[in-house]
Amino acid sequence: MDHLEGLNPEQRKAAEHTTGPLLIVAGAGAGKTKTLTHRILNLIHSGIAPENILAITFTNKAAGEMKERVVKLLSEDPAREYDGAVPFVSTFHALGVYILRREHARINRPKHFSILDDDDTNRLMKKALQQCELDPKQFEPRRMKNAISREKGELHTAETYKASVGNEYFPRIVANVWSAYEKLMLEEGALDFDDLILHTTLLLRDEAEMRTIYHAKWSHIHIDEYQDTNFAQYTLSKLLAGDHKHICVVGDTDQSIYAWRGADFRNMMLFEEDFPDATVVLLEENYRSTAPILKAANDIITKNTVRKEKNLFTRKEGGEKLSVIACGDEKMEAEFVAKKISGLIRNGAEPKDVAILYRANFQSRALEEGLLDAGISYQVLGVKFFARKEVKDVLAYIRAALNPTATADFSRIVNVPARGIGKVTLAKILSGEEVTLPPATQAKIASVREILSEIADDCANLPVSHTLKNAIKRSGLEDAFKKDREEGEDHLENVYELVGLATKYDHLTPEEGIEALLSDATLASDQDSLGDAKKKKDENAVRLMTVHASKGLEFPYVFITGIEDGLFPHRGFDGPVINPERAEEERRLFYVAITRAEKKVWLTYAHTRTIFGGKNIQAPSEFLMDLSDEYIETEDPDKLPTIEVE
């Protein structure tokens, strides 16, 4: 049996390529994951050991799906016996965690270094500002964090940045705060998200021994969503390729929508300059959407001037036109969307088949009210399971047990549940004055340390799920939740859900399992929250999300709301005229939105919209002017039947 059976000619060309650099330009819905996984299968057929293959993508969700598909292909392959060996499939950040845990001494961190989430980073940034005698209200910690993050994405360290800024006022302040922030992280044995890429890249760039080790480990490299790489990730990709240059990158310049966080789609356009002997394969056949949707998408994106040329097509026949709906205001827009969804559900569609997309988060409020009034279940993407307080508390117990220098985790759990250890007592503990505390207080602290010691023993000896279950009991959290009659039951269900989730790591050694869980929890993205619905009723729900959050997803029915001048395309702080680069990114964003749909798209706009407390008169978006009557139709929102709520 042909192990590449089912691939179209271009997909097959990419899968059969086994040596040297390969660029796959993959349009939306063109089967890039299928192509990548079959290429990995073909590499293994050609004699490359699975463990010598590396595949990197951007979200845990995408990495998990790719790994599952690779395992399925390998386990069902009649030509070879499956021995359980699999390629290393991960996100960029998870790859960084893997390498830095192994090389922790080289970056002066403990093996179980903490990874700071947004809250932790803001806390340390505020403390750094105070140490520099700066007012956090004047120099907002988040703004400072973003400035430092951009520089780390350009492979700057606190030292190299400080040497480069001269005497400019704000950059000098950033340099001083950055130095203080780095010192605080070192004291806590911690790294932030950007460090995971920065330190990994610098290790490979600056130490030949490191390059030798990891080139020997991974001979064939795959980078998904290459158009979304920043400079650090782009450099890391090239370093991993090394002299053998067996690197395959996959992406689509038309779906590059993250410039605001440092992504540069030009990295993809530079690939042929970086690797002059590269093979280029174009995947243009779309397996997701109907012809009208693809015609609209092509007409939108061809207006952009900086892109890799391609033209999506489908062999599917027919398909409904896109509908354009003009509404009086955002409330009427929400009512229309709710009525239309009610009709879809009455005609057999499932709520989970429907996505409502918007350009800005504030738009969700009116849409949620419309769905609530109609009695339609929905889920807002972005409410992360791992961001829930009770879940973070359990994980903080684990991190504090593994990393005694993680003062943030110790501070979080020392009085959770309540033990009568207040801020003054905590300050004395952290400043080394614990011996001055009353004997009863010292006993409480000793009890906490004993709990952490027992958890540390479990981490070394038990499967992950058992460790978590014991930690929930030993910490006193379980008893505290049982006594809380208001939210306790919900919190208890969430931490039990965490134990259930942890069972997927039980096949690993205790140390490997706990590290994988902590890394995955910290690096979880917004899209990972799609699988977080705890209650069964939430699993079949309409999805609400920003267009940015929708990338990589697909739904039979898609509503794209707020298609108005200034909102989509979004003007941001540009004023009356959007700069050309931003204008092209907004057009790519609209292209991404349209290509999420399989069967039908509704485009809605309002004549007036309440924005920041004021009622604004809105004009239809210029994007609507780019659509041809050949594949669009208008709908009258007043002609839909009234919703009957049970």
Q: Which of 596, 600, 604, 618 is catalytic?
A: 596
Point out the least confidently predicted range of 188-192, 283-287, 482-486, 635-639: 482-486
pLDDT band at 404 (very low <50, low <70, confident <90, very high): confident
What pairs with residue 611 in β-bridges? 614
Q: Which of 12, 32, 109, 399 is catalytic?
A: 32
Residue 33 designated active-site: yes
pLDDT band at 278 (very low <50, low <70, confident <90, very high): very high
Rounded to two decimals, the pTM is 0.81
Inter-residue contact 250 to 222 (CB < 8 Å): yes
Question: pLDDT digit string (tens) for 479-499?
Answer: 888 887 667 777 887 788 788
Q: Scanning the structure block, which residue is given the tokens 């940015």? A: 548
Omega into 569 within 30° of 0, i.e. cis?
A: yes
User: Could you give the CA distance from residue 4 to residue 358 in angstroms, rounded to a whole number?
Assistant: 39
Q: Which of 57, 235, 253, 255 is catalytic?
A: 255
In the predicted structure, residue 534 carries a pLDDT above the cut 50: no
Residue 441 is encoded by which pair of tokens? 């207080």
Residue 255 designated active-site: yes
| Strand 614-617 versus strand 322-327 pairing type | unpaired
pLDDT of residue 530: 46
Residue 618 designated active-site: no
Point out the least confidently predicted range of 22-36, 74-88, 348-362: 74-88
Question: pLDDT digit string (tens) for 232-268?
Answer: 999 999 999 988 899 999 999 888 888 877 888 888 8
Residue 251 is encoded by which pair of tokens? 């992406």
The pLDDT of 529-549, averaged and rounded, is: 68
Side-chain-side CA neighbours of residue 571 (13 Å): 11
Question: Under DSSP, is residue 128 helix (H, G, I), strand (E, B) or coil?
Answer: helix
Residue 245 is encoded by which pair of tokens? 């240059």
Contacts for 416-424: CB closer than 8 Å, 24+ residues apart:
416/475, 416/477, 417/475, 417/476, 417/477, 417/479, 417/480, 418/480, 419/444, 419/447, 419/448, 420/444, 421/445, 421/448
In the predicted structure, residue 106 carries a pLDDT above the cut 60: yes
Residue 32 designated active-site: yes
Question: pLDDT digit string (tens) for 129-142?
Answer: 999 999 888 888 88
Q: Which of 10, 11, 33, 69 is catalytic?
A: 33
DSSP codes joined into one string, 580-599: HHHHHHHHHHHHHHHTTEEE
pLDDT of residue 539: 75
pLDDT of residue 488: 75
User: Could you give the CA distance from residue 94 to residue 313 in angstroms, rounded to a whole number?
Assistant: 35
For 22-41, give one letter per residue: b (16+ CB within 10 A) or e: bbbbbbbbbbbbbbbbbbbb
pLDDT of residue 407: 84
Q: Which of 10, 151, 225, 458 is catalytic?
A: 225
pLDDT band at 371 (very low <50, low <70, confident <90, very high): very high
- Residue 89, φ and ψ in degrees, nearest 5: -115, 125
Residue 630 designated active-site: no
**Greatest CA span in the chain, whole angstroms?**
82
Omega into 417 within 30° of 0, i.e. cis?
A: yes
Residue 561 designated active-site: no
pLDDT of residue 641: 64
Residue 370 is encoded by which pair of tokens? 């419309």
Q: Which of 117, 182, 224, 515 is catalytic?
A: 224
The pLDDT of 582-603, averaged and rounded, is: 95
Instruction: Give the H/E segment covering residue 556.
Output: strand 555-560
